[in-house]
Amino acid sequence: MGCGTGALCAAILDRCSPSSAIGVEPSEGFLKTAKENLGHRATLHQGSATAIPLGDASVDVVVSGLVLNFVPDQPAALKEMARVSAGRGTIAAYVWDYAGKMELMRHFWDAAAALDPLAAKLDEGPRFPLCKPEALEQLFTSAGLKGIEVKPIDIPTLFRNFDDYWQPFLGGQGPAPAYAMSLEEAARARLRDRIRERLPFSANGSVSLIARAWAVRATVAP
Ligand SMILES: C[S@@+](CC[C@H](N)C(=O)[O-])C[C@H]1O[C@@H](n2cnc3c(N)ncnc32)[C@H](O)[C@@H]1O
């Protein structure tokens, strides 16, 4: 669900050997890239989390990676994911821990908000309240799902030096790079310097951070 360019589909195909895999994605551009990346290994459909183009009880597992926080009507998405899942099927999702230990983003937004109160409005931490374990559990409970488990997935992210950390903010996609590039050069330099002052550098100049996602999984009642 929300397969984007197909990264999660590819990981599932490589590691889990499912009998078949289906990706659903609203964006035509992402779907085209997913087709290029996955070839015939997965069937791809245009659709959304609240309008999945599949029949009732047609799949065993529905999984969405880094998607649910973008869906406007999350309870409706859970209902739809449960509709297409067979009884005792699994529904699983993960989202970044934006407000907590998605550390490369936290360092960015904490520094940005300290220098510019307007930046706080763009910070994904407060913008995506779903991205906390209690909120995920609550969403899955409200959908009537059973056996709910919520766990952190901690991914070590090592940056060789400050530039290695900073460069992606100067050209990447997403709210943080867009904000960085919207600043005048002097303001961007102030932001860069503030982040650099606070990052936990090792003696060799590298920076070791954690990128945490909260993962949730549950079973559809038969
Ligand atoms: C951060 S990307 C994750 C892509 C993919 N799951 C992955 O792991 O590479 C978020 C994806 O969610 C999709 N998306 C946004 N709103 C959606 C919705 N309402 N229903 C389904 N997918 C949605 C976006 O188009 C995008 O492909």
Q: Is 124's C-beta closer than 6 angstroms to any atom of ligand 1?
A: no
**CB-count exposure of residue 76 (10 Å: 0-12, 13-18, 19+):** middle
Report, as an integer, the average pLDDT of 118-122.
94
Q: What is the pLDDT of residue 166?
A: 98
Query: Which residue's CA is the nearest one to ligand 1's atom 19?
Result: 71
Query: Which residue's CA is the nearest one to ligand 1's atom 23?
Result: 2
Atom of ligand 1 nearest to the CA of 65: 6
Span 205-218, pLDDT tens digits:
999 999 999 999 99
Banded model confidence at residue 173, pLDDT cuts 50, 70, 90:
confident
Span 134-160, pLDDT tens digits:
999 999 999 999 999 999 999 999 999
Q: Is 70's C-beta closer than 6 angstroms to any atom of ligand 1?
A: yes
At position 106, the amino acid (one-letter code) is R
Question: Residue 57 has which token pair?
Answer: 């009880």
Phi, psi of 79 (to 5 degrees): -60, -40
Place of tokens 């100067």: 170
Predicted TM-score of the model (pTM)? 0.95
Q: Is 27's C-beta closer than 6 angstroms to any atom of ligand 1?
A: yes
- Higher-pLDDT residue of 222 and 181 is 181
d(C-alpha 33, C-alpha 169), whole Å: 23
**Residues 37, 10: contact at Cβ < 8 Å?**
yes
d(C-alpha 54, C-alpha 121), whole Å: 37
Q: Is 130's C-beta closer than 6 angstroms to any atom of ligand 1?
A: no
Spacing, Cα 181 to ligand 1 middle (Å): 24
Query: Which residue's CA is the nearest one to ligand 1's atom 14?
Result: 2
Exposure string of 178-196, with b = 16+ CB inside 10 Å and e = fewer, is: ebbeebeeeebebbbebbe
Q: Is 165's C-beta closer than 6 angstroms to any atom of ligand 1?
A: no
DSSP state of 144: T
48 pLDDT higher than 80: yes
Strand, coil or helix: 156: strand
Banded model confidence at residue 21, pLDDT cuts 50, 70, 90:
very high
